[in-house]
Amino acid sequence: MASTVQLTSVLKTLADPTRRAVFERIAREGEVAATYLVQGSKVSQPAVSQHLRALRDAGLVAERREGRHIHYRVAPKGLGPLLDWLGHYQTFWAERFENLEKLLKESE
């Protein structure tokens, strides 16, 4: 029953393009250490660190410490509040939804 607060935090967190790019890279690569996210990012190490904190606080990523590296991965439930919310607007995107449906079937 994802609260408004959670949904707001997910949306705000994903709304920043730099931060969203970090999220997308984590999603693509599976598990990435922060250092590697800093390499290949336009912004500084502290900036990346702050984005990672925001992503974690929003429940969008989880972390696993391994020595002095911290590996980030996408938290499967993180997008939950957003998906729940979108569920209420199915009537507005039913068509597109069926496209996704097709994609999903093809991918298995």
Which residues lie near a second copy (CB under 8 A)?
A: 4, 7-8, 11-12, 14-17, 20, 24, 27, 74, 76, 78-80, 82-84, 86-94, 96-101, 103-104, 107
Maximal CA-CA distance, the chain:
49
* 2 lies in the site for DNA, by CB under 7 A: no
Q: What is the C-alpha radius of gyration for the chain, rounded to an integer number of angstroms? A: 16
Given the complex with DNA, which of 2 and 70 has the nearer CB atom?
70
3-state secondary structure of 32: strand
31 contact, one of DNA, a second copy, none, CB 5-8 Å limit per kind: none
